[in-house]
Amino acid sequence: ANALCYYPDGTPAPGDVPCTDSTDNSVCCGTGYACLSNGICQATGDELQKPGASEFVRGSCTDKTFRSSSCPSFCGTPDVDNVGGGEGMEKCTNTKQDVYWCVNQQNIDLSQSEDICSDSNAVVFFPGTPTAITTIGVAQRSTSSTSSTTSAPTTMSTSTTASSPPTNTATGTGTGTSTPTPTSTSPPAETAPASSGSKSNGGVIGGAVGGSLGGAAAIGILAFFFLRRRRGRRDTGIHEMDYTPVEPKTSATPLVHHPSTPHGPDDVLPVHEVPGSTEFESVKKHNPDEPMELPA
């Protein structure tokens, strides 16, 4: 950045500073001037308030011979232009293109600017639209100048991202992202009573089935105990009947004759009692597995 700068005739330009140090040679501008992308120096701030100052100036170059393509090759004709210093330039306002003319070269009044701009041989044409690279002597301002050139896309991206949230675009367009709002969680709320109802119905059905089974089981148990008790009573009655003694009846007692004993017509035969039918029936009912007691 401390490299020396020179005018077209090789005269040093001690007050000028290179616009960039990324190349071997560069355009040089004075303090308070902005370095434009077309190689012109543009006065800013207080420089514009100086008497006789021009807004646009052809500056100097780091190449003393002025043969580098990085040097401003315009407004440097000997005996016509100020080759030993900077030269003012005027921009043509009757066109949208980037067109200028050299003040010293034409040596005319500024009121005749439109006539000069109409002559293609008297003007300097630059393609495209120039941008400010940096401002000499104003480091912060150069940073702001650079940021200002890049702030436009940043602002556009910010506005684009600002419109991307659903809450903003929904109110603006009414189409896009406003559709997600109807998709609430109301269906689960409606299905909740159905699930609870099914649970309650299941509980009622289960209770009814369980109650029926429990009632049947209780009835079965009661019937089992009732039949068992009744059978026990019947068995007890049978055993009592087996062991109940029966008095013998003598009314139907037959006579038994013993032929071995001789007797006469007047002899009285001995009579033996035989168990009656009642005692015989009781003997028949006696359990054969138990011992039976015979009469003496």
N-to-C CA span, the chain? 161
Tell me the CB-side half-sphere exposure of residue 90, using CA atoms within 13 A: 22
Positions in the chain whose pLDDT score sits under 50? 1, 140-205, 209, 236, 238-269, 271-286, 296
Q: How far apart are CA 33 and CA 265, in angstroms?
A: 191
pLDDT at 291: 56
Task: Give residue-wise pLDDT tens across range 150-160.
Answer: 333 322 333 33
Please, are residues 1 and 54 in contact by the beta-carbon 8 Å criterion?
no
Question: 3-state SS string over the chain?
Answer: CCCCCECCCCCECCCEEECCCCCCCCEEEECCEEEECCCCEEECHHHHHCCCCCCEEECEECCCCCCCCCCCCCCCCCCCCCCCCCEEEEECCCCCCEEEEEHHHHCCCHHHHHHHHCCCCCCEEECCCCCEEEECCCHHHHHHHHHHHHHHHHHHHHHHHHHCCHHHHHHHHCCHHHCCCCCCCHHHHHHHHHHHHHHHHHHHHHHHHHHHHHHHHHHHHHHHHHHHHHHHHHHHHHHHHHCCCCCCCCCCCCCCCCCCCCCCCCCCCCCCCCCCHHHHHHHHHCCCCCCCCCCC
What is the reported pLDDT for 91?
A: 93
pTM, rounded to two decimals: 0.46
Q: What is the pLDDT of residue 113?
A: 72
Token couple for 205: 């059905």
Q: Quote the pLDDT of residue 101.
A: 92
- pLDDT confidence of residue 233: 57
* Spatial distance between the Cα atoms of 58 and 13, rounded to a whole number of angstroms: 12
